[in-house]
Amino acid sequence: MGMTMTQKILAAHAGLDKVEAGQLIEADLDLVLGNDITSPVAIHEMEKMKVDGVFDKNKIALVPDHFVPNKDIKSAEHCKCVREFAKKNEITNYFEVGQMGIEHALLPEQGLTVAGDVIIGADSHTCTYGALGAFSTGVGSTDMAAGMATGKAWFKVPSAIKFNLTGKPSEWVSGKDVILHIIGMIGVDGALYKSMEFTGDGIANLTMDDRFTIANMAIEAGGKNGIFPVDDLAVAYMKEHGTREYKIYEADTDAVYDEEYTIDLRTLRPTVAFPHLPENTKTIDEITDDIRIDQVVIGSCTNGRLDDLRIAAKVLKGRHVAEGMRCIVIPATQKIYLQAMEEGLLKIFIEAGAIVSTPTCGPCLGGYMGILAEGERCVSTTNRNFVGRMGHVNSEIYLASPAVAAASAVEGKISCPCKLS
């Protein structure tokens, strides 16, 4: 009985020839990640351990991004805690305002995540780096503390679900639509503590930004991680963004999967997740009522990359957001912000009546930069639409791609870019 891609990576990092689903292992870590919300808890827990510093100052990444720039005194205190810890321990990969970005877009951009890595982060969307062929998963702050101190973490080896992607997606269909379709199909607990392993010839028709989006939302299906095979596009991305050595793992032909699905990308349509779960999906063609909205957010660790901004700008160019509409665009990193500026995308957004924010998680978790009042509705390119996620418990969030979000901003209701005049 063979091993999946995830199982091979975990076996190698545990110093074992073979692992099986359900087995408990201790694995060496290549990177430990924390942000301004989760790191202070980990730092305080690590202080209780009375250890002499961190295990490796080069294998820890601290990214203040959730409430940064500081939204209030409490968030300022949290960031101060992280900043002082980074300085005390000479953390190489600490990203201050001006260098920071949304963590799950920033780390691959900085070349800190590569194929074959085992990465933990005290943030549930750490699963993003599976797009590069790494095993990456979210953990609690106490696990982050132990990881920073020892360079190791305990795992229960996950079983797997195989998603065979075929064909080429049509215009206006992106990685966001792919993962929303999958979550709608299997549910928010359909992959509970399982590895979501993506294969098939359709992967060649997905950009790296598409793959990051899909891996990012594996957790929204309950997945332990999401992971893609390493092809030429992934290798080119890693070489462009860093110099770290990577290692390619491939699933055995006789690897065992709990379930297998085949998804023809040609059949997918722009998809929207209705409140209050990511599984509550409808294609744009199934939405027959006029669903009026108050706000649109384009950004986040899910859809704040350059391709996302280009698509949104394509829709907004020469158009204007609907009267009374608030449209907030958040480039995920400073580099993306700068490139969007150089390409003229920010000019398009501003002329269309949108605002452009510095990189921040802000509105996604109901922090700031776009909080919803009672009864308000938002179309958002973020990853969660739980009750109260973005503000008042009686507000509503509709998850969608940048294309649908931009079209909805123009029309003032949930809309398909294919129907804009």
With residue 313 as reference, give the H or E element that holds it. Answer: helix 306-316
CA angle 137, 113, 52 (to 5 degrees): 75
Q: Is 300 left (phi over 0), alpha (psi -120 to 50) or beta?
A: left
Could you give the domains of the chain?
Answer: 5-263 (3.30.499.10), 273-419 (3.30.499.10)
CA–CA separation, 64 vs 73, rounded Å? Answer: 15
Predicted pLDDT of residue 121: 97
Tokens representing 17 are 């020839």
CA–CA separation, 379 vs 398, rounded Å? Answer: 5
Predicted pLDDT of residue 206: 98
Predicted pLDDT of residue 421: 66
Could you write out the three-class secondary structure of 68-94?
Answer: CCCCCHHHHHHHHHHHHHHHHCCCCEE
CA–CA separation, 343 vs 335, rounded Å? Answer: 12
Computed on alpha carbons and rounded to an integer, the radius of gyration of the chain in Å comes to 20
Tokens representing 262 are 């085949």
3-class state of residue 8 by DSSP: helix
Could you write out the three-class secondary structure of 322-391?
Answer: CCCCEEEEECCEHHHHHHHHHCCHHHHHHHCCCEECCCCCHHHHCCCCCCECCCCEEEECCCCCCCCCCE
Instruction: Let me know: does 270 contact 280? Beta carbons within 8 Å.
Output: no
Residue 87's identity, in one-letter code, is: K
CA–CA separation, 337 vs 331, rounded Å? Answer: 5
Positive/negative CA dihedral, 117, 220, 36, 49: negative
CA–CA separation, 370 vs 391, rounded Å? Answer: 9
Q: What is the pLDDT along the chain (421 residues), one digit of tens a residue?
A: 899 999 999 999 999 999 999 999 999 999 999 999 999 999 999 999 988 899 999 999 999 999 989 989 999 999 999 999 999 999 999 999 999 899 999 999 999 999 999 999 999 999 999 999 999 999 999 999 999 999 999 999 999 999 999 999 999 999 999 999 999 999 999 999 999 999 999 999 999 999 999 999 999 999 999 999 999 999 999 999 999 999 999 999 999 999 999 999 999 999 999 999 999 999 999 999 999 999 999 999 999 999 999 999 999 999 999 999 999 999 999 999 999 999 999 999 999 999 999 999 988 888 889 999 999 999 999 999 999 999 999 999 999 999 999 999 999 999 999 888 6
Distance of CA 93 to the CA centre of its chain: 19
CA–CA separation, 86 vs 94, rounded Å? Answer: 6
Residue 12's identity, in one-letter code, is: A
Predicted pLDDT of residue 100: 87
